[in-house]
Structures are given as C-alpha cells and as structure tokens.
Amino acid sequence: MLRFLISLLVGLALGAVAGLYLGWVQFPAQFVNSPAASLGERYKDEYTVMVATGYLKDGDLGGAFDRLKILGVANIPAYVQAVTERYISSSRDASDVSYLVVLAEGLGRLTPIMEPYRQLSAPVQP
Amino acid sequence: MTRYDSSGNYAPDSFSKYRRPRRPLSGWGLFIGVVLGIAGGLFYAWQVNPRIEFNTEPWQLNEADRANYMIGITLQYSYDGDLSTAVNRLLEMKLPGDPIQAVADTACRLATTGYVDNSSGVRAVRSLMVFYQLQGRKGCADTLVTLSDQLTPIPTIEAATPTLRPPATKTPTPVPAAQSSPTAQTVIIPTIRPQADFIVADVRTFCSTKFSGVIEVRVGDYNGNGIPATPIRVRWENSQSDFFTGLKPERGSDYADFQMDASKSYTVEVLGGSDPSQPLVAGPCTDPDNGQAAITSYRVTFRPA
C-alpha cells in the first residue's frame, strides 16, 4: 500500500508539472468578450490610426474622442501624443504619422517633433 | 532435475514475477497520479490562476467593442478607400459567415439602438453603410439611416390642368407617302490614356545614423522585378535633381538614392512617368539601434500604374 501511495504522489507531482505547462504555456486560456482596453499594443495603435483617419474625414473631434474612450486610457490627448511620437521615433508609415499628427493637433497636443509632419488638416465641422 | 523444492512446492518459472525483484514504484499508482496531477494542473492554470490577459486580438473583443473596431475600419476605408486592408482587418476579427454582411448586420443593430442619437453615431453608421453597400450588401440600416445630411425632399404634386379636346377637323390629316428611317447613331466611347506610367506604391520612413536623410527609390514591374535605368527626379524648394536607377548595382538594378538636407521637404517622381510623391520631410529622428539623433529617411517604391 505504501508503495502505491508513493507512486501516486510521484505521479501527482509529474502530472501537476505537465498540467501547468500545458495550461500556461502550450494551451493557455483564451479570453473572449474582452474589453478593448486589453487589446494588444499593435491593435490599439491600429485602432488609434483608424480613429485619426476618421477624424481627418469628418472633422468630428468629439466622435474621435468618444471612440478612443474604449481603449481605457486615463488621458486620451496624452495617449494620442504618445502614440504619435512613438510612430515618428520608430519610423512608422509616413501616412499613418500624418493622420495621427492631425488628431494630436486637434486635441491640442502638437509638439515640435510633429511639426514636419503637418501635411494634412481635418475639415471644419459645419 | 526436479522443480519441486525441499518442502515439496513447485518452484516458479525463472521468468515469473515471483523471481524478479519488485519495482520501486507501482505502475498503476504512477498512472493514476499523473492523470490526477494533469487534471489538477490544468484546473489551476485555466481556472484558479490563468495567465494575465494581454495582447488581446480584435476577434476576442466583446460585442460592443467589436462594433467600435469595425467602425474604425470603415472610417479609415471611407478616407483612404483601401478595400484590401479593410477586408483583411475584418478577416482578423474572425466574424462568422460573410464578414461584409456582418458589417451590415452591425450597422442594422446600431441603427436600431440609441447609438444613432447623436451625429457622431450617425456618421459612424453611415461609414458602415457606405462600406457594405459598395460591396453589394444590404441591411436594415438602409431604411433607418439616410446616407446624407440633407433632408428628404418633400415631393410636390402638381395637378394637371385640364385642357379641352380640340374639335375634330373636317379635312383628314394627309398621311406622308414614305417615312425616312432614322440613321443609327454611332456611339464613340473615348478611351482615356493612362495619366501616369508609374504610381507611388509605398512610402516608408526609417531612421538610421548610417543612412541619415536618404531617399531610397526602387522601381519595379508588375512581377516585382527591378527596372534599371529609370529616370528619377527629386524636387525641393526651387531646385531639382535627376538621376537613374541601377547606378549602385550592389543595392540592386532597381535602386537609386538621394541625400536630403535637414528640415527641407522633397518630392520624388519617375521623370515623365508618374505624379510626384507626397512631401518627404527631412525631419529629426532617433536611431532605435543606438539612440543617436539622425534625419528621417524614406523608402519610396514605384510600380506600374
């Protein structure tokens, strides 16, 4: 009986290690119904560029602000500024940079590093 | 030689388990332990202490945020008209069934809720509508939201003024002997000459202290093969410079480059064969490799129009 119990404990230890590896590394839990705040940085960046492009199209700053709220950032103008400056410093697509600069300018966050990329402007809302 | 021992018992076979030394672990005990351990480990890893959620992808979003992401896609499409990117992003959302019809269904759902109570919401739904209508899909939003801000004109019906029938004439109207048949009209469809032989296919920036403030130009054909000896023109302020691809064969037969001066704005074009690119600004940047200051460089690719 003792031999069986020792075997059981050894098996439990080996199985637990294998189970944790499978559950955390190989097949980690995948979440659904997640909020946009948990989006990966790549997708947050893409979404911010999309919103900036929408602002460039319709000049609706309030709408752009509302759309960015879902990202759950505390200070949206500061967030847009940070994304724009990161895009500039990491040499991202020039068009995306110019879209973001327009939105940053609309939110009052135009900084000197953005000045050379001010090539577009949002339409004035009626 | 007999197999009975001194006590008269029959001796076990040499391969019998009674003659082998006992294993230190029980096979069954080990097996049951491993099964229970894996089950317990998975329960802990998935339920009790799952990995912290990060790097969520758009397909994992909840319904409301998925709709917002979709609106972002169609808003960008409404500006740049890049259908390929828009569709690829919709595919990344792993929408069930036809992704474009899913856009129509989302527009329908938003149009029936308070989402369209403000002008921003209406604009967002319109961007969805424009996107799916251009792809030939329909949804209930078509009947709920108009595509323009203008009010629907109220039709005015003008009552027809009654006119008296003319009295019959006594002399019959002469019938013409022969009617000329109309000559078939010749329709000439004008063909439009392509406006340019090449288009700017891609403009990308990069920052490097080694290649600071450089415009790298590549010209290729439809198959991506480089085209050497293509004349390139760079313009800035009141100046211009012409050069050809292929003069640096170590960089490829389709390659040419130009050194910019800091803080100036340049355009690049295939001489006589394309429109000028967007302005390329030689702005400051920081080399991500070594953190040193440099001037933004550009990679411009031309493809046949």
DSSP letters along B9-26, please?
PBPPPTTSTTTSPPPSS-
- Tokens standing for residue B168: 């019959």
**A8–B29 CB contact, under 8 Å:** yes
**A116–B263 CB contact, under 8 Å:** yes
Q: What is the pLDDT of residue B150?
A: 46
Chain B, nearest residue to A56 by Cα: B79
Q: Are A95 and A68 in contact (CB under 8 A)?
A: no
- Secondary structure of residue B223 in the 3-state scheme: coil
Q: Which residues 136-195 in chain B show a CB within 8 A of chain A?
A: none
pLDDT range class, residue B187, cuts 50, 70, 90 = low
Q: Are B232 and B280 in contact (CB under 8 A)?
A: no
Q: Which residues of A touch B280 (CB under 8 A)?
A: 94
Given CA atoms B13, B18, B19, B20 in this order, what sign does their dihedral have? positive
Asked if B46 is an interface residue toward chain A (Cβ–Cβ < 8 A), one would say yes
Q: Which residues 56-75 in chain B show a CB within 8 A of chain A?
A: 56-58, 60-65, 68-69, 71-73, 75
**Which of A51-60, B114-123, B285-294 is predicted most confidently?**
A51-60
Q: What is the interface pTM, i.e. ipTM, of the complex?
A: 0.81
**B206–A62 CB contact, under 8 Å:** no
Nearest beta carbon to residue A67 from set B34, B68, B207? B68
pLDDT over 90 (residue B68): yes
Helix, strand and coil in chain B, % to nearest 5: 30, 20, 50
**A11–B61 CB contact, under 8 Å:** no
Nearest beta carbon to residue A7 from set B29, B46, B296? B29
Q: What is the pLDDT of residue B3?
A: 72
pLDDT range class, residue B183, cuts 50, 70, 90 = low
**Lowest-pLDDT range of A1-5, A34-38, A51-55, B47-51:** B47-51
Q: Bigger pLDDT: B200 or A67?
A: A67
Q: What is the mean pLDDT of residues B41-60?
A: 81
Half-sphere exposure of B304 (CA within 13 A, CB side): 8
User: Of B276, B302, B278, which is closest to residue B219 (Cα–Cα)?
Assistant: B302
**A89–B76 CB contact, under 8 Å:** no
Q: Which residues of A touch B46 (CB under 8 A)?
A: 23, 29
**A23–B45 CB contact, under 8 Å:** yes
Determine which helix (DSSP H) or strand (DSSP E) holds B268, and give its type and residue range.
strand B265-270
Q: What is the pLDDT of residue B290?
A: 85
Chain A, nearest residue to B69 by Cα: A47
**A66–B45 CB contact, under 8 Å:** no
pLDDT over 90 (residue A87): yes
Cα–Cα distance for residue pair A36/B68, rounded to 1 Å:
9
CA distance B148 to chain A (A): 13
Q: Which residues 66-125 in chain A show a CB within 8 A of chain B?
A: 66-67, 70, 88-95, 97, 113, 115-117, 119
- Secondary structure of residue B83 in the 3-state scheme: helix
**B79–A119 CB contact, under 8 Å:** no
Nearest beta carbon to residue A119 from set B24, B51, B279? B279
pLDDT in tens, A11-44: 899 999 998 888 888 887 777 788 899 899 999 9
Give the CA dihedral B113, B114, B118, B124, nearest 10 degrees.
-30
Determine which helix (DSSP H) or strand (DSSP E) holds B173, and give its type and residue range.
none
Q: Bigger pLDDT: B173 or B94?
A: B94
User: Of B27, B182, B37, which is closest to residue A23 (Cα–Cα)?
Assistant: B37
Mean pLDDT of chain B: 81
Q: Bigger pLDDT: A106 or B305?
A: A106
Give phi and psi for A18, each to the nearest 5. -65, -40
Q: Which residues of B touch A58 (CB under 8 A)?
A: 123
Half-sphere exposure of B130 (CA within 13 A, CB side): 19
The β-bridge partners of B61 are A34
pLDDT in tens, B96-110: 888 899 999 999 999
Cα–Cα distance for residue pair A52/A44, rounded to 1 Å:
12
